[in-house]
Amino acid sequence: MTTSISRPPAPPPAGTAGASAPTPKRASRAPLDPRLVREVRAARSHVARTTVLGLVQAGCVITTALVIGRLGASLLVDRELPQAAPALLGVLALALAIRALAVLVEQRTAHRAATDAIAQLRSRIVSHAAQLGPRSSAGRGADLTALATTGVENLRPYLVGYVPQLLLSLTVTPLCLLTIGLLDLTSALIALFTLPLVPLFMILVGKLTVGRSERLLADMRTMWAQMLDLVDGLPTLRALGREKGPEKVVRSLGDRHRASTMGSLKYAFLSGMVLELLATLCVALIAVSIGMRLVYGHMDLAPALAVLVLAPEVYQPLRNVGSQYHSSTDGLAAVTAAFEVLDEPVTADGRTEAPDLRTATLALRGVTVASRDGLAPYRAEVTVRPGRVLALTGPSGSGKTTAVHVMLGLLEPAEGRAEVIAADGTAVDVRELRRRSLWDQVALLPQRPVLPAGTIRSVLLSARPGTSEGEVARAAAATGLDAVVAERGWDADLGRAGAGISLGERQRLALARAMLSPAPLVVLDEPTAHLDGATEQVVLDLIADLRRQGRTVVVIAHRSRLVDIADDVAEVQARHTRDAEHPAGHEHQEVAP
């Protein structure tokens, strides 16, 4: 079964169009989100690898400082050139080479790990959203698209820049501070008391930017949602002669996003300058203390030089963490938004295999579903008998498509149940069925067809692999697709969702796929909505042909010609909030004469 479903972090009521991103909520978060490490394998490997590389760099830094201190003291005190100690020079060169290699490996693997982590998280978001069903994404598909594309991309600077520096501050900083303490306790105490100033100023800068990253991400998702809705509605606007107005909306969205981004950059530059100045002053305090003691002979030159080399390394990781602070907030905001989607509960799949729909009956028993402004459908009673054509009718907004979603197990009803009744009379609740065993027997054609990318031939063959060229040609002729093939050719490339051909031509292509599909149940949602009167007859003939093949057809219909050819007609109604004092009558089903 083919359908298009998605899930935003906080969905609005069903049927809401052009929804914006949810208002961000502030919450205290760890610098390294444990959910990301626990549930995304690439991120977990990245953290472990970076920690090991941080320990390697710490060892190299300490070795370099000790060797430089020894060589410098020998040169200045004993007048011995470094060439006189080739072993120490070799150790120095080796330590520098290993550190450079560790930095290179860290940077190269960080980009690869970020790409893998983003791909894994994006795949989980899309897969989880698909499992949540179509109602969960009502009106919010654009928002989810923004999150799964540019939203999770904010993890890249977070994983590449912030996380490595955070882990270095947990490895290089304490080890270098410990070494300074062993060489000179006074310098270690100065570093120990001045070191908290760096995170203190980070907190002060953070208070200036509190909530900015969440607002930036929310603005970006809102802009994407409105832009995609605008692009989706351009054909309608053009048909109404109003295509010249939306550029003001686009300009306004762009100005708002640009102002938000420039505000974040302003605070990023400010925080970087403050932290750079602070680290310089802290190292200067240690240097002045060492200089005064060297002047009065209270300290040896070798440990003094080693401490001077180590002192900047104590502050450097924390300073880099501060400069990458905005990457961390952007990344954590993206992680939070992603896990809001992933934390949404999924309806458990059943364990019972679905009966053969060639002989089984589907039924709705008093099904009611809550909608934006009431209940749609309201107490629906529908029976789909095998081998017959059922027309599902009702006013716009009465819940016809929703009723089909409940019938196929895509949506949980607020009241009532959907059943599949086997040929022997055994009735099973759809929720108890293994969904895939049911969906594999259904060909679903929504109002906007969902088509794979590829050529016209490959798209048709994917409906039933192994189909002969003759069968494909007959299906194209039966649905009017042969005119499109004559104009464009069988090997015409189509983009995602059939991009490259008109909506009516996509409808014909989707109808041809439904005809080729071996599924015993075919569901057509307004199959003539985008077709002219001449092509409508093609659809009517196709439905008649499906009936002759013994296949069951459910048609969601507004046009009378679709209703006229049906064997059975079922009407569903809604109960809107404004009609609460005047309850709607129960739905009914009747057999067409």
Look at residue 242 and tell me whether its pLDDT is greater than 80: no
| Confidence category of residue 531, pLDDT binned at 50, 70, 90 | low
User: What value does the mean pLDDT take over residues 231-241?
Assistant: 71
Query: Of the candidates 514, 508, 520, 526, which has an alpha carbon nearest to the alpha carbon of residue 401?
Result: 526
What CA dihedral angle connects 143, 144, 148 and 152, to 10 degrees?
60
| pLDDT value at residue 494 | 80
Helices 86-132 and 325-342: crossing angle, nearest 10°?
Answer: 30
The string of pLDDT tens digits covering residues 482-530 is 888 888 888 878 876 667 777 777 878 888 888 888 889 999 888 776 6
Mean pLDDT: which of 27-36, 391-400, 496-505 is highest? 391-400
The string of pLDDT tens digits covering residues 363-395 is 999 998 887 778 888 888 999 999 999 989 888
Q: Yes or no: say if 438 and 409 are a contact pair by the CB < 8 Å rule.
A: yes
Residue 369: φ, ψ to 5°: -130, 135
Query: Of the candidates 217, 216, 220, 218, which has an alpha carbon nearest to the alpha carbon of residue 266?
Result: 216
Q: Give the 3-state secondary structure of 156-209.
A: HHHHHHHHHHHHHHHHHHHHHHHHHHHHCHHHHHHHHHHCCHHHHHHHHHHHHC
| pLDDT value at residue 277 | 81
The string of pLDDT tens digits covering residues 86-124 is 899 999 999 999 999 999 999 889 989 989 998 888 888
What CA dihedral angle connects 501, 502, 503 and 508, to 10 degrees?
-70
Query: Of the candidates 62, 71, 79, 101, which has an alpha carbon nearest to the alpha carbon of residue 182?
Result: 62
| pLDDT value at residue 57 | 93
Q: Give the 3-state secondary structure of 507-551.
A: HHHHHHHHHHCCCCEEEEECCCCCCCHHHHHHHHHHHHHHHHCCC
Mean pLDDT: which of 54-58, 218-222, 478-482 is highest? 54-58
More confidently predicted of 235 and 112 = 112
| pLDDT value at residue 24 | 43
| pLDDT value at residue 59 | 93
Burial (Cβ within 10 Å: 0-12, 13-18, ≥19) of residue 472 = buried
Q: What is the model's pTM?
A: 0.63
Give me the chain's average pLDDT, please: 79
Look at residue 266 and tell me whether its pLDDT is greater than 80: no
Q: Yes or no: say if 329 and 264 are a contact pair by the CB < 8 Å rule.
A: no
- Strands 552-556 and 521-525, by their bridges, are parallel
User: What value does the mean pLDDT take over residues 135-163?
Assistant: 73
| pLDDT value at residue 539 | 81
If you search the block for the tokens 């607002």, which residue do you land on? Answer: 215
Percent of all residues in the chain with a pLDDT value above 70, rounded to a whole number: 81
| pLDDT value at residue 15 | 36
Cβ–Cβ contacts within 10 Å for residue 273, how many? Answer: 11
Residue 338: φ, ψ to 5°: -65, -45
Look at residue 136 and tell me whether its pLDDT is greater than 70: no
| pLDDT value at residue 205 | 66
Compute the residue count for the chain. 593
Q: Return all residues near 179 (Cβ < 8 A) that are at least 6 apart.
A: 62, 65, 306, 310
User: What value does the mean pLDDT take over residues 539-553?
Assistant: 87
Look at residue 254 and tell me whether its pLDDT is greater than 90: no
| pLDDT value at residue 144 | 74
Look at residue 457 and tell me whether its pLDDT is greater than 80: yes
| pLDDT value at residue 142 | 59
Calpha distance 523→514 (Å, rounded): 9
User: What value does the mean pLDDT take over residues 575-587?
Assistant: 53
| Confidence category of residue 577, pLDDT binned at 50, 70, 90 | low
| pLDDT value at residue 214 | 60
Least confident interval from 152-156, 328-332, 454-458: 328-332
| pLDDT value at residue 213 | 59
Q: What angle do CA 351, 353, 354 make, to 5 degrees?
A: 125
What domains appear along the chain, each with residue ranges and CATH number?
34-342 (1.20.1560.10), 361-591 (3.40.50.300)
Look at residue 22 and tell me whether its pLDDT is greater than 60: no
More confidently predicted of 199 and 545 = 545
Percent of all residues in the chain with a pLDDT value above 90, rounded to a whole number: 15
Residue 309 tokens, joined: 């080399």
Q: Yes or no: say if 199 and 169 are a contact pair by the CB < 8 Å rule.
A: no
DSSP H stretches of helix in 324-443: 325-342, 400-407, 435-439
